[in-house]
């Protein structure tokens, strides 16, 4: 069956691929890839740019059964690539297991998230891609390839941007389940953030800061604290000058669709994401951008964006600041450095947003800011390629798995210089 892919989830990008396949098996995926001149994998359409688009065929795996298999030793889980994180999380929790972290939206597919370096938060938590220990991929000529961490090029294939093929199954590290409480604070002084950013973001297992870039305070702080041995952690009455939020505080994006706050203890699967799986994620009518800088330069990077605050605020729903540990995945935005992610959830005002982005990017350029692969930006390979020292190795590896360039598209050419 084929049909048009239509719009992405937020409605700001219309896919141009003339055909969308929804195969019922991996064998069908192999057949489609082997016969296609151009083809790309399409996840849950939560990207805000052309990364998943193709001049030919798109393949969606989101309707395949999750096929979740927990290893006998309880250390890994293998899932169908198109499975949403929220589905994986609920099934793992039911079996007494957990992932190390979740993104803010549980609606995104596993393969789409790990292939773009998507993340949660926490100074010592790697992004979602760092939990990957195995991949099954249909490569350029329809061959089914399996790679694990032992493969010499594995670190180049995890954040793969779809350049190696259609990911069909993903194996993730897991651990015993744990509980989390989520507490909100309001009016965090900017002076405190700039004076001791690392102390603030290490204040819980996962910390998120929300701002509109104007004024002397950040509007909200979300602390996700692991609860050990059934004993709720006691939370301070003052968090670096921020005070506990009233129970009526709603999502910074303006919707009542968030996971339970107010310090109520619950399973990791229902606290680490910001939004509930049964609701519209975030605001829904939006555009997103995100840039990653070395956490050592957090205060300076935040200061230069604040200087643009009066121009940013009229077009912004909210900015979220999150952190993650550095990793060794070649095209991970956190490659080689502990990172701060500066995320913009914009109003759906494409002209205004695209006009602002070059100035934000220019302000962050001295800090080597890397863009989120799935979100809006105006950068090109001239700027992006120098930020990734293993990019030549990545390009060479793509030639091995995609010798006929079936998985190439205009996005890969613009962003990292792969020949279309």
**Residue, of 367 and 43, whose pLDDT is higher:** 367
Rounded Cα–Cα distance for residues 167 and 188 (Å): 42
CATH 3.30.465.10 matches 69-176: yes
Per DSSP bridges, beta strands 266-267 and 179-189 are: antiparallel
Rounded Cα–Cα distance for residues 273 and 131 (Å): 16
* Residue listed under structure tokens 């399409």: 42
pLDDT of residue 106: 85
Q: For residue 131, give Cα distances in angstroms to 147, 159, 165, 327, 393.
A: 14, 12, 20, 11, 22
pLDDT of residue 283: 61
Among the residue ranges 198-212, 243-257, 298-312, 341-355, the one predicted with the least confidence is 243-257
Assess contact for 406 and 317: CB atoms under 8 A.
no
DSSP H or E run through 32: helix 26-35
The pair of three-digit structure tokens given for residue 319, joined into one six-digit string:
């900015």
Contacts (Cβ under 8 Å, ≥6 apart) of 38? 54, 55, 56, 57, 406, 407, 408, 409
Question: 347 falls in which pLDDT band (50, 70, 90)?
Answer: very high
pLDDT of residue 9: 81
Report whether pLDDT(252) > 60: no
For Cα atoms 105, 118, 247, give the angle at the middle one, nearest 5 degrees: 35
Report whether pLDDT(279) > 90: no
* Residue listed under structure tokens 């290893």: 71
Mean of the pLDDT values across residues 35-47?
93
Mean of the pLDDT values across residues 401-407?
97
Domain boundaries, the chain: 69-176, 179-381
Phi, psi (deg, nearest 5) at residue 22: -125, 75
Closest by CA position to 105, among listed 124, 92, 93, 118: 118
**Residue, of 217 and 285, whose pLDDT is higher:** 217
Assess contact for 128 and 159: CB atoms under 8 A.
no
Mean of the pLDDT values across residues 198-215?
97
Mean of the pLDDT values across residues 323-333?
98
Mean of the pLDDT values across residues 110-135?
97
pLDDT of residue 284: 65
The model's pLDDT over 363-385, given as tens digits with 9 standing for 90+, comes to 999 999 999 999 999 999 999 99
The model's pLDDT over 80-104, given as tens digits with 9 standing for 90+, comes to 999 999 999 999 999 999 999 999 8
| DSSP labels, 78-144 | EEETT-BHHHHHHHHHHTTEE-S---S-TTSBHHHHHHTT-----TT---GGGGEEEEEEE-TTS-E
Report whether pLDDT(246) > 70: yes
What whole-number percentage of the chain has pLDDT above 90? 83
For Cα atoms 224, 194, 249, give the angle at the middle one, nearest 5 degrees: 40
Report whether pLDDT(230) > 80: no
Report whether pLDDT(118) > 80: yes
pLDDT of residue 334: 98
Question: 12 falls in which pLDDT band (50, 70, 90)?
Answer: confident
The pair of three-digit structure tokens given for residue 401, joined into one six-digit string:
């798995």
Query: Under CATH, which number does the domain 179-381 receive?
Result: 3.30.70.2520
The pair of three-digit structure tokens given for residue 277, joined into one six-digit string:
């799986």
What is the overall mean pLDDT for the chain?
Answer: 93
**Residue, of 283 and 183, whose pLDDT is higher:** 183
Question: 275 falls in which pLDDT band (50, 70, 90)?
Answer: confident
H helices present in 172-216, as ranges = 190-195, 197-201
Question: 65 falls in which pLDDT band (50, 70, 90)?
Answer: confident
Report whether pLDDT(231) > 70: yes
Q: For residue 116, give Cα distances in angstroms to 89, 212, 331, 397.
A: 19, 26, 8, 17
Contacts (Cβ under 8 Å, ≥6 apart) of 170? 78, 79, 81, 110, 111, 114, 132, 134, 135, 136
Q: Say how far residue 203 (Cα) sits from the centre of its chain.
A: 22
């Amino acid at each position: 069956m084929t049909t048009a892919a239509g719009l992405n989830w937020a409605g700001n990008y219309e896919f141009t691929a003339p055909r969308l396949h929804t195969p019922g098996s991996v064998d069908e995926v192999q057949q489609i890839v082997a016969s296609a001149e151009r083809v790309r994998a399409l996840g849950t359409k939560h990207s805000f740019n052309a990364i998943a688009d193709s001049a030919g065929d798109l393949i969606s795996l989101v309707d395949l059964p999750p096929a979740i298999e927990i290893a006998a030793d309880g250390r890994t889980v293998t899932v169908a690539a198109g499975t949403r994180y929220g589905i994986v999380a609920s099934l793992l929790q039911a079996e007494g297991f957990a992932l190390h972290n979740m993104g803010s939206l549980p609606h995104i597919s596993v393969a789409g998230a790990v292939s773009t370096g998507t993340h949660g938060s926490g100074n010592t938590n790697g992004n979602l891609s760092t939990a990957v220990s195995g991949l099954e991929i249909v490569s350029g000529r329809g061959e089914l390839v399996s790679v694990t961490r032992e493969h010499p090029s594995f670190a180049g294939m995890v954040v793969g941007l779809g350049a190696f093929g259609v990911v069909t199954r993903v194996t993730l590290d897991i651990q015993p389940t744990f509980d989390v409480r989520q507490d909100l604070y309001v009016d965090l002084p900017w002076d405190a953030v700039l004076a001791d950013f690392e102390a603030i973001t290490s204040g819980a297992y996962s910390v998120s800061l929300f701002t509109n870039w104007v004024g002397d305070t950040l509007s909200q702080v979300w602390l996700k604290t692991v609860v050990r041995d059934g004993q709720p952690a006691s939370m301070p009455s003052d968090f670096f000058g921020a005070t506990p939020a009233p129970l009526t505080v709603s999502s910074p994006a303006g919707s009542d669709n968030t996971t339970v706050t107010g310090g109520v203890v619950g399973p990791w699967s229902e606290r680490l994401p910001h939004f509930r799986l049964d609701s519209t994620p975030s605001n829904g009518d939006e555009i997103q951008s995100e840039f990653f800088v070395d956490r050592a330069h957090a205060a300076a990077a935040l200061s230069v964006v604040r200087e643009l605050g009066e121009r940013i605020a009229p077009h912004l729903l909210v900015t979220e600041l999150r952190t993650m540990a550095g990793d060794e995945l070649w095209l991970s935005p956190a490659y080689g450095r502990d990172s701060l992610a500066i995320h913009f959830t914009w109003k759906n005002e494409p002209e205004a947003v695209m006009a602002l982005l070059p100035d934000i990017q220019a302000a962050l350029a001295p800090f080597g800011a890397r863009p989120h692969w799935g979100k809006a930006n105006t950068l090109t390979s001239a700027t992006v390629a120098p930020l990734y020292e293993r990019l030549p190795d990545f390009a060479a590896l793509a030639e091995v798995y995609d010798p006929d360039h079936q998985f190439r598209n205009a996005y890969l050419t613009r962003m990292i210089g792969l020949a279309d």
